[in-house]
Amino acid sequence: MIDMRSYRHRYFFEVIGVLITLSSIANAEPSCFTPTGSYGNCVPIRSCVKVVNELSRLGENTPQSYREHLIQSRCTGPTPDDIYICCDSNEDDYEKSLNPNGLQLLNELKCGHVAARGTNLGESPWNALLKYKSSEKPYKCGGSLITHRHILSAAHCLVVDINIVGVRLGEYDINTDPDCQRKGRRTICMPPAVDYGIEKIIVHPYYSRQAFINDIGLIKLDRDVEFNIHIKPICLPITKRTADTNREKYIVTGWGTTENGTTASVLMRAVVKHQEPKFCQELFKNVHITENNLCAGGDTYEACTIQSGGPLFFLAPYKTLNRYVQFGVLSFGMNKCYSKAYPSIYADIIPQMPWITANLVE
Protein backbone atom coordinates (compact mmCIF):
# COMPACT_ATOMS: atom_id res chain seq x y z
CA MET A 1 0.00 0.00 0.00
CA ILE A 2 1.26 3.47 -0.85
CA ASP A 3 1.84 6.17 1.78
CA MET A 4 0.11 9.31 0.55
CA ARG A 5 1.24 11.58 3.36
CA SER A 6 4.17 12.84 1.26
CA TYR A 7 2.08 13.63 -1.82
CA ARG A 8 0.89 17.13 -2.61
CA HIS A 9 -1.10 18.21 -5.61
CA ARG A 10 -3.49 20.85 -6.80
CA TYR A 11 -7.19 20.27 -6.54
CA PHE A 12 -8.61 18.44 -9.54
CA PHE A 13 -12.37 18.92 -9.38
CA GLU A 14 -12.14 22.48 -8.12
CA VAL A 15 -15.68 23.00 -9.19
CA ILE A 16 -16.84 20.45 -6.60
CA GLY A 17 -15.50 22.64 -3.84
CA VAL A 18 -17.33 25.60 -5.32
CA LEU A 19 -20.57 23.63 -5.29
CA ILE A 20 -20.14 22.61 -1.66
CA THR A 21 -19.84 26.23 -0.52
CA LEU A 22 -22.89 27.48 -2.33
CA SER A 23 -25.32 29.26 -0.05
CA SER A 24 -28.07 29.48 -2.63
CA ILE A 25 -29.52 26.24 -3.94
CA ALA A 26 -32.52 25.16 -5.94
CA ASN A 27 -35.73 23.76 -4.50
CA ALA A 28 -35.65 20.11 -3.46
CA GLU A 29 -37.51 18.23 -6.17
CA PRO A 30 -37.06 14.68 -7.47
CA SER A 31 -37.86 16.19 -10.87
CA CYS A 32 -36.32 19.45 -12.01
CA PHE A 33 -35.35 21.61 -14.96
CA THR A 34 -31.77 22.17 -16.05
CA PRO A 35 -30.40 25.69 -16.69
CA THR A 36 -31.11 25.13 -20.40
CA GLY A 37 -34.77 24.38 -19.66
CA SER A 38 -34.75 20.64 -20.29
CA TYR A 39 -36.43 18.14 -17.97
CA GLY A 40 -34.17 16.32 -15.54
CA ASN A 41 -33.80 14.54 -12.21
CA CYS A 42 -32.16 15.80 -9.02
CA VAL A 43 -29.38 13.25 -8.47
CA PRO A 44 -25.96 13.05 -6.78
CA ILE A 45 -23.40 14.60 -9.09
CA ARG A 46 -21.46 11.32 -9.27
CA SER A 47 -24.54 9.65 -10.76
CA CYS A 48 -24.80 12.10 -13.65
CA VAL A 49 -22.55 10.19 -16.04
CA LYS A 50 -22.09 12.87 -18.69
CA VAL A 51 -21.04 15.46 -16.10
CA VAL A 52 -18.59 13.06 -14.42
CA ASN A 53 -17.04 12.16 -17.78
CA GLU A 54 -16.75 15.82 -18.77
CA LEU A 55 -15.11 16.82 -15.48
CA SER A 56 -12.73 13.88 -15.81
CA ARG A 57 -11.84 14.96 -19.36
CA LEU A 58 -11.36 18.66 -18.56
CA GLY A 59 -9.62 18.28 -15.20
CA GLU A 60 -8.00 21.49 -14.01
CA ASN A 61 -8.77 23.12 -17.36
CA THR A 62 -12.52 23.19 -16.65
CA PRO A 63 -13.71 26.55 -18.10
CA GLN A 64 -15.52 29.06 -15.92
CA SER A 65 -18.61 28.84 -18.12
CA TYR A 66 -18.98 25.10 -17.39
CA ARG A 67 -18.45 25.67 -13.68
CA GLU A 68 -21.21 28.29 -13.69
CA HIS A 69 -23.47 25.86 -15.55
CA LEU A 70 -22.96 23.29 -12.78
CA ILE A 71 -23.57 25.89 -10.09
CA GLN A 72 -26.86 26.83 -11.73
CA SER A 73 -27.72 23.12 -11.91
CA ARG A 74 -27.48 22.69 -8.13
CA CYS A 75 -30.53 21.21 -6.41
CA THR A 76 -31.28 19.79 -2.96
CA GLY A 77 -31.31 16.05 -2.40
CA PRO A 78 -32.20 13.91 0.62
CA THR A 79 -28.61 13.59 1.89
CA PRO A 80 -27.03 16.86 3.05
CA ASP A 81 -23.46 15.56 2.67
CA ASP A 82 -23.90 14.82 -1.04
CA ILE A 83 -23.80 17.29 -3.93
CA TYR A 84 -26.96 17.15 -6.04
CA ILE A 85 -27.46 18.61 -9.50
CA CYS A 86 -30.33 18.62 -11.97
CA CYS A 87 -29.14 16.02 -14.44
CA ASP A 88 -30.80 15.96 -17.85
CA SER A 89 -33.00 12.85 -17.99
CA ASN A 90 -31.18 11.73 -21.14
CA GLU A 91 -27.82 12.17 -19.41
CA ASP A 92 -29.03 10.19 -16.41
CA ASP A 93 -29.71 7.02 -18.40
CA TYR A 94 -27.00 4.92 -16.80
CA GLU A 95 -27.16 1.84 -18.98
CA LYS A 96 -27.21 3.83 -22.23
CA SER A 97 -23.95 5.46 -21.19
CA LEU A 98 -22.20 2.07 -21.27
CA ASN A 99 -20.59 0.65 -24.38
CA PRO A 100 -23.15 -1.84 -25.78
CA ASN A 101 -20.56 -4.44 -26.79
CA GLY A 102 -18.78 -4.27 -23.46
CA LEU A 103 -22.11 -4.33 -21.65
CA GLN A 104 -23.16 -7.44 -23.57
CA LEU A 105 -19.89 -9.13 -22.65
CA LEU A 106 -20.48 -8.48 -18.95
CA ASN A 107 -24.18 -9.31 -19.20
CA GLU A 108 -23.43 -12.80 -20.53
CA LEU A 109 -21.17 -13.75 -17.63
CA LYS A 110 -22.16 -15.86 -14.66
CA CYS A 111 -20.42 -13.68 -12.12
CA GLY A 112 -20.25 -12.91 -8.42
CA HIS A 113 -21.12 -16.42 -7.26
CA VAL A 114 -19.25 -18.35 -4.57
CA ALA A 115 -19.72 -22.08 -4.00
CA ALA A 116 -20.44 -22.93 -0.35
CA ARG A 117 -17.77 -25.38 0.81
CA GLY A 118 -17.48 -24.81 4.56
CA THR A 119 -13.89 -23.56 4.23
CA ASN A 120 -12.18 -20.30 3.30
CA LEU A 121 -11.01 -21.79 0.02
CA GLY A 122 -12.66 -20.25 -3.01
CA GLU A 123 -14.48 -17.54 -1.03
CA SER A 124 -13.11 -14.81 -3.32
CA PRO A 125 -12.42 -16.56 -6.65
CA TRP A 126 -12.02 -13.27 -8.55
CA ASN A 127 -8.97 -12.07 -6.63
CA ALA A 128 -5.87 -11.75 -8.80
CA LEU A 129 -2.21 -11.37 -7.89
CA LEU A 130 -0.15 -9.16 -10.19
CA LYS A 131 3.36 -10.52 -10.61
CA TYR A 132 6.35 -8.20 -11.04
CA LYS A 133 9.96 -8.61 -12.05
CA SER A 134 11.19 -8.71 -8.46
CA SER A 135 12.73 -11.58 -6.54
CA GLU A 136 12.21 -9.80 -3.20
CA LYS A 137 8.47 -9.02 -3.47
CA PRO A 138 6.95 -10.33 -6.71
CA TYR A 139 3.29 -9.75 -5.76
CA LYS A 140 3.03 -6.03 -5.02
CA CYS A 141 -0.50 -5.38 -6.24
CA GLY A 142 -3.82 -7.10 -6.63
CA GLY A 143 -6.74 -6.99 -9.01
CA SER A 144 -10.01 -8.68 -9.86
CA LEU A 145 -11.14 -10.93 -12.69
CA ILE A 146 -14.08 -9.29 -14.51
CA THR A 147 -14.31 -11.26 -17.81
CA HIS A 148 -12.78 -14.32 -19.46
CA ARG A 149 -9.86 -12.11 -20.48
CA HIS A 150 -9.68 -8.98 -18.29
CA ILE A 151 -8.31 -7.98 -14.88
CA LEU A 152 -9.38 -4.71 -13.24
CA SER A 153 -6.75 -2.99 -11.10
CA ALA A 154 -5.30 0.40 -10.14
CA ALA A 155 -3.49 2.45 -12.77
CA HIS A 156 -0.49 3.03 -10.51
CA CYS A 157 0.01 -0.76 -10.45
CA LEU A 158 0.20 -0.90 -14.25
CA VAL A 159 2.38 2.01 -15.42
CA VAL A 160 5.33 1.16 -17.65
CA ASP A 161 8.13 1.51 -15.07
CA ILE A 162 6.49 -1.00 -12.71
CA ASN A 163 7.74 -4.08 -14.69
CA ILE A 164 4.63 -6.21 -14.37
CA VAL A 165 5.17 -9.61 -15.98
CA GLY A 166 2.08 -11.71 -15.29
CA VAL A 167 -1.11 -12.46 -13.37
CA ARG A 168 -1.96 -15.34 -11.04
CA LEU A 169 -5.54 -16.53 -10.54
CA GLY A 170 -7.04 -19.12 -8.23
CA GLU A 171 -4.54 -18.51 -5.43
CA TYR A 172 -5.25 -18.71 -1.71
CA ASP A 173 -1.99 -19.52 0.07
CA ILE A 174 1.05 -18.33 -1.86
CA ASN A 175 3.26 -20.88 -0.06
CA THR A 176 1.23 -23.98 -0.97
CA ASP A 177 0.02 -25.51 -4.22
CA PRO A 178 -2.57 -26.88 -4.28
CA ASP A 179 -4.36 -25.15 -1.42
CA CYS A 180 -6.05 -27.49 1.07
CA GLN A 181 -8.05 -27.14 4.30
CA ARG A 182 -9.59 -29.55 6.76
CA LYS A 183 -13.40 -29.80 7.02
CA GLY A 184 -14.23 -32.19 9.82
CA ARG A 185 -12.46 -35.44 9.01
CA ARG A 186 -12.06 -34.57 5.36
CA THR A 187 -9.37 -32.55 3.61
CA ILE A 188 -10.69 -30.30 0.84
CA CYS A 189 -8.29 -29.14 -1.86
CA MET A 190 -8.66 -26.64 -4.65
CA PRO A 191 -7.21 -27.05 -8.15
CA PRO A 192 -3.79 -25.45 -8.59
CA ALA A 193 -3.43 -21.72 -9.18
CA VAL A 194 -2.96 -20.65 -12.81
CA ASP A 195 -0.47 -18.12 -14.16
CA TYR A 196 -1.27 -15.95 -17.18
CA GLY A 197 0.80 -13.71 -19.40
CA ILE A 198 -0.18 -10.22 -20.47
CA GLU A 199 -1.31 -9.23 -23.95
CA LYS A 200 -2.15 -5.61 -23.26
CA ILE A 201 -2.22 -3.05 -20.45
CA ILE A 202 -4.77 -0.22 -20.62
CA VAL A 203 -4.38 2.71 -18.21
CA HIS A 204 -7.07 5.38 -17.90
CA PRO A 205 -6.02 8.23 -20.24
CA TYR A 206 -6.61 10.88 -17.56
CA TYR A 207 -4.85 9.09 -14.75
CA SER A 208 -2.65 11.42 -12.69
CA ARG A 209 0.21 9.69 -10.92
CA GLN A 210 0.82 12.66 -8.64
CA ALA A 211 -2.83 13.18 -7.66
CA PHE A 212 -4.04 9.58 -7.99
CA ILE A 213 -6.98 10.77 -10.07
CA ASN A 214 -8.66 8.15 -12.31
CA ASP A 215 -6.45 5.52 -10.69
CA ILE A 216 -7.89 2.62 -12.65
CA GLY A 217 -6.71 0.31 -15.42
CA LEU A 218 -7.24 -2.99 -17.21
CA ILE A 219 -5.06 -5.96 -18.07
CA LYS A 220 -5.93 -8.06 -21.09
CA LEU A 221 -4.56 -11.55 -20.50
CA ASP A 222 -2.70 -13.56 -23.12
CA ARG A 223 -5.45 -16.20 -23.31
CA ASP A 224 -8.99 -16.87 -22.16
CA VAL A 225 -9.52 -17.87 -18.54
CA GLU A 226 -11.21 -21.18 -17.89
CA PHE A 227 -13.60 -20.59 -15.02
CA ASN A 228 -13.51 -23.11 -12.19
CA ILE A 229 -14.57 -23.41 -8.57
CA HIS A 230 -11.56 -21.29 -7.52
CA ILE A 231 -11.48 -18.94 -10.54
CA LYS A 232 -14.61 -16.90 -11.30
CA PRO A 233 -15.34 -13.29 -12.30
CA ILE A 234 -16.88 -10.71 -9.99
CA CYS A 235 -19.89 -8.71 -11.20
CA LEU A 236 -19.71 -5.02 -12.08
CA PRO A 237 -22.57 -2.50 -11.63
CA ILE A 238 -24.07 -2.77 -15.15
CA THR A 239 -27.58 -1.58 -14.21
CA LYS A 240 -28.76 1.59 -12.52
CA ARG A 241 -30.56 -0.53 -9.91
CA THR A 242 -27.26 -2.11 -8.89
CA ALA A 243 -25.37 1.19 -9.08
CA ASP A 244 -27.89 2.90 -6.80
CA THR A 245 -27.81 0.18 -4.13
CA ASN A 246 -27.48 1.61 -0.63
CA ARG A 247 -23.98 0.87 0.61
CA GLU A 248 -23.23 0.80 4.32
CA LYS A 249 -20.54 -1.88 4.47
CA TYR A 250 -18.14 -3.45 1.99
CA ILE A 251 -15.92 -6.51 1.82
CA VAL A 252 -12.23 -6.22 1.02
CA THR A 253 -9.88 -9.11 0.26
CA GLY A 254 -6.21 -9.41 -0.57
CA TRP A 255 -2.69 -10.44 0.35
CA GLY A 256 -1.75 -7.30 2.25
CA THR A 257 0.59 -6.52 5.12
CA THR A 258 -0.10 -8.22 8.42
CA GLU A 259 -0.18 -6.36 11.72
CA ASN A 260 3.41 -7.38 12.49
CA GLY A 261 4.63 -5.88 9.21
CA THR A 262 5.11 -9.03 7.14
CA THR A 263 3.43 -9.81 3.84
CA ALA A 264 0.46 -12.15 4.13
CA SER A 265 0.80 -15.48 2.36
CA VAL A 266 -2.91 -16.31 2.77
CA LEU A 267 -5.79 -14.36 1.22
CA MET A 268 -7.33 -12.21 3.95
CA ARG A 269 -10.83 -10.77 4.22
CA ALA A 270 -12.36 -7.86 6.15
CA VAL A 271 -15.72 -6.10 6.35
CA VAL A 272 -15.34 -2.30 6.28
CA LYS A 273 -17.70 0.60 6.78
CA HIS A 274 -18.67 3.09 4.09
CA GLN A 275 -17.50 6.57 5.09
CA GLU A 276 -18.41 10.02 3.83
CA PRO A 277 -15.62 11.63 1.75
CA LYS A 278 -15.08 14.36 4.35
CA PHE A 279 -14.08 11.68 6.88
CA CYS A 280 -11.13 10.68 4.70
CA GLN A 281 -10.39 14.28 3.70
CA GLU A 282 -9.73 15.18 7.32
CA LEU A 283 -7.15 12.38 7.57
CA PHE A 284 -5.51 12.77 4.15
CA LYS A 285 -5.06 16.53 4.27
CA ASN A 286 -2.51 16.64 1.44
CA VAL A 287 -4.81 14.80 -0.97
CA HIS A 288 -8.00 16.14 -2.55
CA ILE A 289 -10.72 13.50 -2.17
CA THR A 290 -13.07 13.89 -5.14
CA GLU A 291 -16.50 12.56 -6.06
CA ASN A 292 -14.70 9.88 -8.08
CA ASN A 293 -13.36 8.36 -4.86
CA LEU A 294 -14.92 6.08 -2.28
CA CYS A 295 -13.86 6.26 1.35
CA ALA A 296 -14.17 3.07 3.38
CA GLY A 297 -12.77 1.61 6.57
CA GLY A 298 -11.36 3.16 9.69
CA ASP A 299 -13.24 0.72 11.89
CA THR A 300 -11.01 -2.33 11.35
CA TYR A 301 -7.44 -3.09 10.34
CA GLU A 302 -8.42 -3.51 6.70
CA ALA A 303 -5.30 -1.55 5.70
CA CYS A 304 -3.44 -4.69 6.73
CA THR A 305 -5.67 -6.85 4.54
CA ILE A 306 -5.73 -5.42 1.06
CA GLN A 307 -3.28 -4.52 -1.68
CA SER A 308 -3.31 -1.62 -4.09
CA GLY A 309 -5.58 -2.52 -7.00
CA GLY A 310 -7.64 -4.92 -4.88
CA PRO A 311 -11.45 -5.01 -5.00
CA LEU A 312 -14.03 -3.35 -2.76
CA PHE A 313 -17.32 -5.24 -3.10
CA PHE A 314 -20.45 -6.55 -1.40
CA LEU A 315 -23.55 -8.66 -2.00
CA ALA A 316 -25.91 -6.48 -4.05
CA PRO A 317 -29.03 -6.84 -6.23
CA TYR A 318 -27.88 -8.00 -9.66
CA LYS A 319 -30.52 -8.82 -12.28
CA THR A 320 -32.96 -11.14 -10.48
CA LEU A 321 -30.54 -12.34 -7.77
CA ASN A 322 -28.04 -11.03 -5.25
CA ARG A 323 -24.46 -11.34 -6.40
CA TYR A 324 -21.07 -10.02 -5.27
CA VAL A 325 -20.58 -6.74 -7.15
CA GLN A 326 -17.38 -4.68 -7.18
CA PHE A 327 -17.74 -0.96 -6.50
CA GLY A 328 -14.17 0.19 -5.90
CA VAL A 329 -10.47 -0.36 -6.63
CA LEU A 330 -7.97 0.39 -3.87
CA SER A 331 -6.05 3.51 -4.79
CA PHE A 332 -4.17 4.58 -1.67
CA GLY A 333 -4.03 4.59 2.11
CA MET A 334 -1.47 4.27 4.86
CA ASN A 335 1.55 2.20 3.88
CA LYS A 336 1.53 -0.13 6.89
CA CYS A 337 -0.49 -1.22 9.91
CA TYR A 338 -0.77 1.25 12.75
CA SER A 339 -1.87 1.11 16.35
CA LYS A 340 -5.26 2.38 15.19
CA ALA A 341 -7.32 1.66 12.09
CA TYR A 342 -7.29 4.05 9.14
CA PRO A 343 -9.66 4.23 6.18
CA SER A 344 -8.53 3.74 2.60
CA ILE A 345 -9.36 5.56 -0.63
CA TYR A 346 -10.77 3.69 -3.62
CA ALA A 347 -11.39 4.62 -7.22
CA ASP A 348 -15.17 4.58 -7.63
CA ILE A 349 -16.08 2.16 -10.42
CA ILE A 350 -19.52 3.61 -11.23
CA PRO A 351 -18.36 6.81 -13.00
CA GLN A 352 -15.69 4.72 -14.77
CA MET A 353 -18.12 2.16 -16.20
CA PRO A 354 -18.39 3.88 -19.63
CA TRP A 355 -14.60 3.73 -19.94
CA ILE A 356 -14.37 0.17 -18.63
CA THR A 357 -17.03 -1.22 -20.97
CA ALA A 358 -15.51 0.59 -23.95
CA ASN A 359 -12.09 -0.92 -23.33
CA LEU A 360 -13.32 -4.47 -22.86
CA VAL A 361 -13.81 -4.69 -26.63
CA GLU A 362 -10.51 -3.13 -27.70
pLDDT digits (tens, 9 = 90+) for 272-311: 899 988 888 888 888 888 888 899 987 655 555 668 899 9
Does 114 lie in the same domain as 87? no
Q: Where in the sequence is the domain holding 37, given as residue range(s)? A: 14-93
Does 77 lie in the same domain as 104? no
- Given a cut of 90, whether residue 155 has pLDDT beyond it is yes
Does 197 lie in the same domain as 48? no
How much is the pLDDT for 285? 81
Mean pLDDT of 221-234: 96
Classify residue 73: in a domain, yes or no.
yes
CATH label of the domain that carries residue 301:
2.40.10.10
Name the pLDDT band for 183 (thresholds 50, 70, 90).
confident
Classify residue 341: in a domain, yes or no.
yes
- Given a cut of 60, whether residue 20 has pLDDT beyond it is no
How much is the pLDDT for 89? 61
Higher-confidence residue of 142 and 287: namely 142
Mean pLDDT of 80-100: 77
Does 263 lie in the same domain as 353? yes
Final residue before a domain boundary, out of 67, 93, 119: 93
> Do residues 165 and 133 make contact, with C-beta atoms less than 8 angstroms apart?
yes
Quote the percentage of the chain above a pLDDT of 90. Answer: 35
Classify residue 8: in a domain, yes or no.
no
Does 321 lie in the same domain as 231? yes
Does 23 lie in the same domain as 163? no
How much is the pLDDT for 139? 86
Does 280 lie in the same domain as 326? yes
Does 154 lie in the same domain as 250? yes
Cα(217)–Cα(205) distance, rounded to whole angstroms? 9
The total of structural domains in the chain comes to 2
Name the pLDDT band for 109 (thresholds 50, 70, 90).
very high
CATH label of the domain that carries residue 51:
3.30.1640.30
How much is the pLDDT for 11? 40
How much is the pLDDT for 122? 84
Does 154 lie in the same domain as 39? no
Mean pLDDT of 24-34: 52
- Given a cut of 50, whether residue 22 has pLDDT beyond it is no
Does 275 lie in the same domain as 154? yes
Mean pLDDT of 338-358: 84
Name the pLDDT band for 200 (thresholds 50, 70, 90).
very high
Q: What is the pTM of this model?
A: 0.74
Classify residue 64: in a domain, yes or no.
yes
Classify residue 4: in a domain, yes or no.
no
Classify residue 244: in a domain, yes or no.
yes
Name the pLDDT band for 8 (thresholds 50, 70, 90).
very low
Classify residue 9: in a domain, yes or no.
no
How much is the pLDDT for 19? 47
Does 157 lie in the same domain as 55? no
How much is the pLDDT for 110? 94
Classify residue 298: in a domain, yes or no.
yes
Does 225 lie in the same domain as 334? yes
How much is the pLDDT for 44? 86
Of 235, 295, 302, give the one whose Cα is nearest residue 268.
Answer: 302
